[in-house]
Amino acid sequence: MISNKMIELVQNSSVIRAMFEEGKRLASIYGSENVFDFSLGNPSVEPPEAVKNAVIETVTGESANLVHGYMNNSGYEDVRSTIADSINKKFNTSFTEENIIMTVGAAGGLNVILKTLLNPGDEVITFAPFFGEYRNYVDNYDGELVVVSPNTATFQPNLSEFEKKITDKTKAVIVNTPNNPTGVVYSEETIIALADILNRKQAELKTSIYLISDEPYRELVYGGITVPYLTKYYRNTIVGYSYSKSLSLPGERIGYLVIPGEADAFKDVAAAANVANRILGFVNAPSLIQRVVAKCLDAEVDISVYNRNRELLYNSLIEYGYTCVKPEGAFYLFVKALEEDDKAFSAAAKKYNILIVPGSSFGCPGYFRIAYCVDYKTIEGSLGRFKKLALEYLGK
Amino acid sequence: MISNKMIELVQNSSVIRAMFEEGKRLASIYGSENVFDFSLGNPSVEPPEAVKNAVIETVTGESANLVHGYMNNSGYEDVRSTIADSINKKFNTSFTEENIIMTVGAAGGLNVILKTLLNPGDEVITFAPFFGEYRNYVDNYDGELVVVSPNTATFQPNLSEFEKKITDKTKAVIVNTPNNPTGVVYSEETIIALADILNRKQAELKTSIYLISDEPYRELVYGGITVPYLTKYYRNTIVGYSYSKSLSLPGERIGYLVIPGEADAFKDVAAAANVANRILGFVNAPSLIQRVVAKCLDAEVDISVYNRNRELLYNSLIEYGYTCVKPEGAFYLFVKALEEDDKAFSAAAKKYNILIVPGSSFGCPGYFRIAYCVDYKTIEGSLGRFKKLALEYLGK
């Protein structure tokens, strides 16, 4: 009775979410303190106090019809203007509210921009490993996802293969830095080289290729590293941002798109994105939380908590014999599985009540992802089990 | 640069929304007290105080990670269970949380269920006049919207034409009662006859035809009239509900789908709707407001305000010589235009600073829609102008 596409999608339904449900099942058997669920990127750090204060201030201090009513499908003008100013201050850009479209999270934003851009058969390139939902988002608009194979030495994108895969059907490129699942931040050198390739190919093919920068992890970086702001490196960049991680609000579905004025066909793209937001059924980003985030633009979650997790887990895994590029951002480790079959390895980990996600879910078999956005004691409790798991494969 | 579909959609972009922007422009010239904007269904009645209290109670009394975090893509189990109980109490049904999927408003819910059900080329039937977005929602999944022509005598659906339009490609039927744009409530007699046709056609064609009941106006009815709960009349009914009007929260994007256990392929449909919610980029309904509405299920907006508007406007228009079926629900009047060309008539009204929406936006030319969810004084101020407009056409 359901559509053919959905039959397939339900069958292959996100391994990550299935793991989440499995974690709850194991917890009900063994007790949650004996299950080590590293499967889902659900922030463990509380939202900053500023969020609660802004919620209360908004519902007590502003008109209820304003706070909960319809507004322009692109979002409240004052919220968009405040966000534009904040981006300008941080990155020395010059956006206005015309460049900002409030969206139902970054997932909503990506769908809006793909609906805006794609004709059936258009190609969208991304770099493995990548967030598996990109495949569904592109397929929603009958586009073709073209995957550049992983560079497992550094997990920086493989740019020579990228250049070869650009064709006259390439409409967009999706990058995600800091990256899910590797935690790697694409270097400025990488970004410059990527922009250079795109500029050359655009000129050669006489097309516009939009670089979609999916940025839910922008603020989650460690050791003072800088994440380049991509609109400054390439004219046709569109940013998809989310407050899910920066303010620990993943359930609220709040984020925005930045469409720079210098992007090709800016007016058409912005107008179409406004309409796409409406007709896809989002209508607008949730209203109260739009007003709340505009009051919390300088608030931050305490990322030292994630950093402490990262250090303990990374150092311990290396000690036990695992191999992993040390990540500079996000809250994931992407570790080489101790056997070729990452699904078999993840199943082996489950025998120790450790839940991890096979790399093949991210287009990168032979690896697994650990989401370390969990309590420190979960990390501590898991270490002996990760050690035993390593011993099982590597011997003592 | 943008997709071919979007080029067309931007050009034809919602007349209603364009009117809304036009209203703001006129207000900036003439002053808002001299512009009579009846174009948008943006509730003028404030949300009940219970909403504010529930927001504050939730952010101060519950764990912030729970309130703002990820949950099952179908929504919080406790919220869904509370809503199921409330529906059961009101309508003597027997739903559980398994039957409820929290959605980003009814617009999100309709998109989720259409993504779930439609293969390209499948047909979805609706009855003119209808909410114009249905055309876009069905097109999002490459379905074909089949429109049954209006029965302008009563604006009850034209069932004999409906029966003829059902084919083996008919996957779903969308009804909207109380109706936008007419305000008419489909009678129980209508619903029984509609269900009878659907049952006969299902048996004859050996297909499942889902009846999608779009119910944002369920609670907005006047004179104590009852709106039949459609799952009780037809097994394959799926309800799309929204709190936009019942709690005056249209900006919050919060609603739900009801998928009854007795519906054909219930398990597949519910599982696919859960996945569709995720992959369309909604991910889940906004979290805080999910928890808030579950605490406000017995709260109501003051619909006597809308009723007062309805009475004054309806009685005055009839007195001036307009023709209109007196609506029993929603907050719209659907009035016969005083010339055949409803767009020309709406343009004529604009000369009096009256903004109305041509019936052709709802698949019913020759009429216009008045959204009377405005201040009483806006209604009062508009009467002289509606009278002059009538005189212009009808003479003294």
pLDDT in tens, A375-393: 999 999 999 999 999 999 9
The pTM for the full model equals 0.97
Give Cα B360 distance to the centre of its chain. Answer: 17
State whether the Cα torsion B208-A13-B283-A21 is positive or negative. positive
Query: Cβ A279–B9 below 8 Å, yes or no?
Result: yes
Amino acid at A10: V
* Window B:182-201, CB contacts with A under 8 Å: none
The whole-angstrom separation of Cα B256 and Cα B270 is 12
Q: Which residue has the higher pLDDT, A365 or A27?
A: A365
Residues of A (111-170) whose Cβ lies below 8 Å from B: 111-112, 115-119, 122, 133, 136-137, 140-141
Tens digits of residue pLDDT in B44-99: 999 999 999 999 999 999 999 999 999 999 999 999 999 999 999 999 999 999 99
**CA distance linking residue B63 with residue B49, whole number of Å:** 23
What is the distance between the alpha carbons of residues B81 and B96, in angstroms, rounded to a whole number?
Answer: 6
Rounded to an integer, the average pLDDT of B2-26 is: 80
Residue A188, phi then psi, degrees to nearest 5? -60, -40
Tell me which residue in B6, B64, B252 faces A272 most closely, judged by beta carbons.
Answer: B6
pLDDT band of residue A138 (cuts 50, 70, 90) is very high
Strand partners, A255: A103, A242
Q: Tell me which chain A residues have a C-beta less than 8 angstroms from the C-beta of B279.
A: 9, 133, 136-137, 140
Answer for the pair B353, B26: CB distance below 8 angstroms, yes or no.
yes
Identity of the residue in A6, A133, A265 whose CB atom sits nearest the CB atom of B1: A265
- What is the pLDDT at residue A21? 77
- The pLDDT value recorded for residue A396 is 64
Distance, in Å, from the CA atom of B237 to the CA atom of B331, rounded to the nearest integer, reads 25
What's the sign of the alpha-carbon dihedral A193, A195, A200, A204?
positive
Best of A44, A45, A65, A68 to disrupt the B interface (most B CBs within 10 Å) is A68
Give me the count of residues in chain B. Answer: 396
**pLDDT digit string, tens, across residues B310-352:** 999 999 999 999 999 999 999 999 999 999 999 999 999 999 9
CA distances from B136 to A193, A286, B19, B145, B196 (A): 40, 21, 19, 9, 28
- The rounded distance, in Å, linking the Cα atoms of A91 and A101 is 18
Which tokens in the block code for residue B84? 């199921």
Cβ within 8 Å, pair A44-B65? yes
Q: Which amino acid is at A212?
A: I
Do A74 and A108 contact (CB within 8 A), yes or no? no
Q: How far apart are CA B351 and CA B35, in angstroms?
A: 10
B141, B251, B271 member nearest A10 (Cβ)? B271
B55 at interface of A, judged by CB pairs closer than 8 A: yes
Q: Does B318 touch chain A (CB under 8 A)?
A: no
Nearest of A375, A331, A368, A332 to residue A349 by alpha carbon: A368
Q: Are B83 and B290 in contact (CB under 8 A)?
A: no
Give the number of other Cβ atoms within 10 Å of residue A303's Cβ: 18
**Å between A118 CA and nearest CA of chain B:** 5
**Are B116 and A2 a contacting pair at CB < 8 A?**
yes
How close does chain B come to A110, measured CA to CA in Å?
8
State residue A12's pLDDT score: 77
Out of A17, A281, A284, name the one closest to residue B251 (CB).
Answer: A284
Q: Which residue from B minimizes the CA distance to A206?
A: B1
pLDDT at B12: 77
Nearest residue on chain A to B20, alpha-carbon basis? A72
Look up residue A108 and give its two tokens. 């909503």
| SS3 of chain A | CCCHHHHHHHHCCCHHHHHHHHHHHHHHHHCHHHCEECCCCCCCCCCCHHHHHHHHHHHHHCCHHHHHCCCCCCCCHHHHHHHHHHHHHHHCCCCCHHHEEEECHHHHHHHHHHHHHCCCCCEEEEECCCCCHHHHHHHHCCCEEEEECCCCCCCCCCHHHHHHHCCCCEEEEEECCCCCCCCCCCCHHHHHHHHHHHHHHHHHHCCCCEEEEEECCCCCECCCCCCCCHHHCCCCEEEEEECCCCCCCHHHCCEEEECCCCCCCHHHHHHHHHHHHHHCCCCCCCHHHHHHHHCCCCCCCCCHHHHHHHHHHHHHHHHHCCCECCCCECCEEEEECCCCCHHHHHHHHHCCCEECEEHHHHCCCCEEEEECCCCHHHHHHHHHHHHHHHHHHHCC
CB distance from B80 to chain A under 8 Å?
no
- For range B275-300, the mean pLDDT: 97
Average pLDDT of span B15-37: 83
pLDDT of residue B106: 98
Q: Is the pLDDT of residue A194 over 70?
A: yes
Residue-level pLDDT at A11: 81
pLDDT given at position B14? 55
User: How far, in Å, CA of A172 to CA of A265, rounded?
Assistant: 14
Q: What is the C-alpha to C-alpha distance for residues B184 and B175, in angstroms, rounded to an integer?
A: 12
Task: Round to whole Å and give the CA distance between B20 and A252.
Answer: 27
Mark yes or no for CB contact B70/A42 under 8 Å: yes
B4/A253 Cβ within 8 A:
no
The whole-number pLDDT of residue B19 equals 72
DSSP letter, residue B116? H
The first and second tokens of residue A280, run together, are 């896809």
Determine the distance in angstroms separating the CA of B112 from the nearest CA of chain A, rounded to an integer.
9
Window A:222-281, CB contacts with B under 8 Å: 248-254, 264-265, 268-269, 271-272, 275-276, 278-281
Q: How confident is the model at residue B246 (pLDDT cuts 50, 70, 90)?
A: very high
Average per-residue pLDDT in chain A? 96
Query: How much of chain A, in percent, has pLDDT values that exceed 90?
Result: 92
- Residue A348: exposure state from Cβ atoms within 10 A (0-12, 13-18, ≥19): middle
The span from the CA of A345 to the CA of A267, in Å, is: 50
pLDDT given at position A16? 60
Dist. CA B361–CA B365, nearest whole Å: 8
Dump pLDDT digits (tens) for A283-337: 999 999 999 999 999 999 999 999 999 999 999 999 999 999 999 999 999 999 9
Is pLDDT larger for residue A298 or for residue B16?
A298
What pLDDT digit, counting tens, does each position of A344-365 carry?
A: 999 999 999 999 999 999 999 9
**pLDDT the model gives residue B15:** 60
Q: Residue ranges of the alpha helices (H) in chain B? A: 4-11, 15-30, 49-61, 64-68, 77-91, 105-117, 133-140, 159-165, 188-205, 266-279, 287-294, 304-320, 342-350, 376-394
- A219 pLDDT higher than 80: yes
Instruction: Using CA coordinates, name the residue in chain B closest to A140.
Output: B280
Q: Do A9 and B279 touch (CB under 8 A)?
A: yes
Q: For residues A171-200, give the mean pLDDT.
A: 98
| Contacts by B191-198, CB closer than 8 A, 24 or more apart | B191/B228, B191/B230, B191/B233, B191/B234, B192/B233, B193/B159, B194/B157, B194/B159, B194/B162, B194/B233, B194/B234, B195/B233, B195/B234, B197/B159, B197/B162, B197/B163, B197/B166, B198/B166, B198/B173, B198/B234, B198/B236
- Please give the residue of chain A at the shortest CA–CA distance from B210: A1
- CA dist A82 → A203, B252, B312 (Å): 35, 20, 42
CA distances from B9 to A111, A172, B119, B139 (A): 16, 21, 22, 11
Nearest to A1 among B9, B70, B268 (CB): B268
**Residue A128 vs residues A131, A147, A162: alpha-carbon distances, Å:** 9, 6, 11
- Residue B85, C-beta contacts closer than 8 angstroms, at least 6 positions apart: none
> Is A251 within 8 Å of B288 when comparing Cβ atoms?
yes
- Kindly identify which residue of chain B lies nearest to residue A279, measuring between CA atoms: B136
When pLDDT is cut at 50, 70 and 90, the band that residue A14 belongs to is low
CB atoms near residue A203 (< 10 Å): 9
Which alpha helices (DSSP H) does B219-365 contain, by range? 266-279, 287-294, 304-320, 342-350
Which structure tokens are listed for A141? 């608009």
Question: By percentage, how much of chain A surpasses pLDDT 70?
Answer: 99
With beta carbons under 8 A apart, name residues in chain B contacting A279: 9, 133, 136-137, 140
pLDDT band at B16, cuts 50/70/90? low
List the single residue in B5, B6, B284 with the smallest CB-CB distance to A253.
B284
- Chain B CB contacts of A141 under 8 Å are 3
Least Cα separation, residue A290 to chain B (angstroms): 10
List, for residues B161-216, the tens digit of each pLDDT value.
Answer: 999 999 999 999 999 999 999 999 999 999 999 999 999 999 999 999 999 999 99
Q: Measured between alpha carbons, how far is B227 from B136 in angstroms, rounded to an integer?
A: 27
DSSP state of B62: S
A357, A16 in Cβ contact below 8 A? yes
What mean pLDDT is predicted for residues B4-19?
78
What's the whole-number mean pLDDT along residues B3-25?
79
Q: What is the pLDDT of residue A127?
A: 98
Going along chain A from its start, the domains and CATH numbers come out as 4-47+301-394 (3.90.1150.10), 49-294 (3.40.640.10)
Chain A residues in contact with B9 by the CB 8 A cut-off are 272, 275, 279
B23 CB-near residues (< 8 Å, 6+ apart):
B35, B37, B39, B40, B355
Of A52, A59, A251, the CB nearest to B71: A251
* Interfacial B residues in 23-42 facing A (CB < 8 Å): 40, 42
Alpha-carbon gap: A287 to the closest alpha carbon of chain B (Å):
5
Q: How confident is the model at residue B282 (pLDDT cuts 50, 70, 90)?
A: very high
